[in-house]
Amino acid sequence: MVEYEAVIGLEVHAQLKTKSKIFCSCSTEFGAEPNQQVCPVCLGMPGVLPVLNRKALEYGIKCGIALNCRIPERSKFDRKNYFYADLPKAYQISQYDQPVCANGYLMVGDKKIRILRAHLEEDAGKLVHAGAAGLHGSDYSLADFNRSGVPLLEIVSEPDLRTPDEARQYLTELRTILRYLDVCDGNLEEGSFRCDANVSIRPVGEEKLGTKAEIKNMNSFKAVQRAIQSEIERQKDLLLKGQRVVQETRLWNEATQSTFSMRSKEEAHDYRYFPEPDLVPIEVSAAEVERIRSELPELPEARRARYMNDAGLSLEDASILVENMDLADFYDQALELGAASKAAANLLLGPAMSHFNKSSGASQTISETILSAKNLKDIVDSINSGVLNSTTAKQVLLDLLAMDKATGPVEVSQYVQKKGLSQVSDENQISSIVQAVLDGKPEQLAEYRAGKVKVRGFFFGEVMKALKGKGNPEIINKILDEKLAGE
Ligand code: ADP
Ligand code: MG
Ligand code: ZN
């Protein structure tokens, strides 16, 4: 049987976080009442003239540099003509043959994923299909042009990805880079980071690309992964049945977890691109590119390497921290103060992350909590000096994370004292508790003696419980061993 491999290329539309739109001064703020942030330019009235937002250009160049692209000295805008109700001009100002960024790459693990181009364009308005039965059976549609003219950077990869998981990693890394550059929110649900996936399959060993289908309408990384997987399977089925894959655009249906055809190649648009006559070509000097390059922050790849080489973290831990920029910034502050790197990372990756994952809805970040980097360092120091054990350290951390910001700053040592959380290391005290536990559980002790060594963990738990979680685990273990061996 023929073995097939998948070939995937991604097109990402990233909304750039400028204050005003790309060709007019309307606000880009999300969430306003419909059609409150519009003007003749972004409504496409006849006779108006677009003016390029320099910030949008700078953000685009920033991304290009971070994605190892070439920034040509000259690029230009073109008109992409198509008619749809969300586009009042009946053309979108985009870039066709001379994009602002060309030929870059992004690393996914050790693999280089080439980026063909990244170009600037304006977003379209938003249609709300209302009445009767929603999308396909609605009575009428409402148009909101607040989004019309919001700057987008479309980033197009070469077809270098091979699996849905690689695609997810590529998107994660790309989004992290854009967030580090502070040019895009990277929010798939709100649509500030949108991804179309191009998928084809070919027999393993074959160089020629197969016919691709383009899939749209995924609004989470998981959806992208599933959509690609389902498309690969659909195409394999077709070929195994002796049928052909046809070039088409398909939409992902989250409810049925499958794709359906939206339009075939025959129905595809001829965009009749031509140079935008109302905008002068873009000129970017080498000096300007160097200035922007010199202002770039530390990027995810460099930070990951630093966490692995200097802080001794595993690739996995380093990656998780780096993807969560606010946690990583906080971690850096703690490192700056001299916190032990691994213990500090463990607290952030374990209890702190699960705290934020649980506090659903509100996008609360660590910088919005009362916990300071100094607190984190103090907690780590308290573990090392034996004042806290891992359980109580975790408790202090979680308590501080959950505390109302109005409480004001908290000192770890005072909090530990107030709550009586200091670790119990007194051997005599622990010894008598261990003895009491063993005396009180004769059945379990007999089981242990009979060879059921797992029961030791039960005894440990009982001792810890009696010490309200504050016992020094090493000393409990030592005394427990002595008593179990000695009797
Ligand atoms: P289109 O003109 O249909 O938009 P492009 O050639 O511009 O197609 O490519 C769009 C995206 O599709 C790019 O990300 C590219 O890497 C990807 N792509 C092109 N050909 C294939 C293929 N045969 N299989 C998978 N992806 C492909
Ligand atoms: Mg395309
Ligand atoms: Zn406007």
Q: What is the pLDDT of residue 469?
A: 86
- Contacting residues for 24 by C-beta, under 8 A, at least 6 apart: 39, 41, 42, 50, 51, 149
Ligand 3 (single-atom ion) residues, CB below 5 Å: 24, 26, 39, 41-42
Question: What's the whole-number mean pLDDT along residues 232-253?
Answer: 95
pLDDT of residue 421: 84
Instruction: Output the CA torsion sign for 133, 134, 136, 137.
Output: positive
Name, in order, each residue with C-beta under 8 angstroms of 295's C-beta and a sequence gap of 6 or more.
none
Each domain of the chain, given as residue ranges in start order, spans: 4-288, 298-419, 427-486
CB 372 within 8 A of CB 409: yes
How is 109-140 classified by DSSP, letter by letter?
TTEEEEEEEEEEEE---EEEEESTTSTTT-SE
Please state the rounded mean pLDDT for residues 217-246: 95
Instruction: Give the Cα separation of 141 and 434 in Å (integer).
Output: 73
The span from the CA of 70 to the CA of 103, in Å, is 6
Question: Is the predicted pLDDT of residue 133 greater than 90, yes or no?
Answer: no
Cβ contacts of residue 101 below 8 Å, gap of 6+?
60, 61, 63, 64, 67, 69, 70, 71, 115, 117, 118, 119
Q: Give pTM, 2 decimals.
A: 0.88
In this structure, what token pair is assigned to residue 217? 């309408």
Residue type for position 255 = A
Of the residues 212, 244, 264, 270, which should be mutated to test ligand 1's pocket, given the most ligand atoms within 8 Å of the CB? 212
The pLDDT of residue 136: 62
Question: Residue 235: CB within 6 Å of ligand 1?
Answer: no
Q: Work out the average pLDDT over 180-209.
A: 95
Tell me, using a 6 A CB cutoff, whether residue 369 lines ligand 1: no
CA of 95 to the centre of ligand 3 (A): 20
List, for residues 267-298, the tens digit of each pLDDT value: 777 899 999 999 999 999 999 999 999 999 99
Helix (H) or strand (E) holding 217: strand 213-218
Ligand 1 atom index nearest CA of 200:
24
Q: For 301-363, where are the E strands, in sequence order?
A: none
pLDDT confidence of residue 318: 97
pLDDT (average), residues 179-200: 95
Name the residue with higher pLDDT: 137 or 441.
441
pLDDT digit string, tens, across residues 348-359:
999 999 998 886
CA 43 – ligand 3 centroid, Å:
7
Among 397, 443, 437, residue whose Cα is nearest residue 416: 397
Span 298-302, mean pLDDT? Answer: 97
Confidence label for 192 from pLDDT (cuts 50, 70 and 90) = very high
Q: Quick check: CB of 200 below 6 Å from ligand 1?
A: yes
Ligand 1 centroid to 158 CA: how many Å? 7
Distance 327 CA to ligand 3 centre (A): 37
Tell me, what's the pLDDT at 487?
A: 54
- Please say if the pLDDT value at position 134 is more than 60: no
Which pLDDT band holds residue 137 (cuts at 50, 70, 90)? low
Q: Which atom of ligand 1 is nearest to the CA of 157?
A: 14
pLDDT average, residue stretch 212-237: 96
Residues above pLDDT 90, as percent of the chain: 81
The mean pLDDT of 3-25, rounded to a whole number, is 98
One-letter amino acid of 425:
S
Q: Is the CB of 99 under 6 A from ligand 1?
A: no
pLDDT at 386: 85
Mean pLDDT of the chain, nearest integer: 93
Nearest to 307 by CA among 317, 297, 292, 294: 317
CA distance 213 to 25: 38
Shortest-distance atom of ligand 1 to CA 11? 14
| Fold that domain 427-486 belongs to in CATH | Arc Repressor Mutant, subunit A (1.10.10)
Atom nearest to 158 CA in ligand 1: 16
Residue 378, pLDDT score = 97
CB 170 within 8 A of CB 152: no
Q: Find the 151 Cα to ligand 3 centroid distance in Å.
A: 12
Two tokens, residue 293: 């390059």
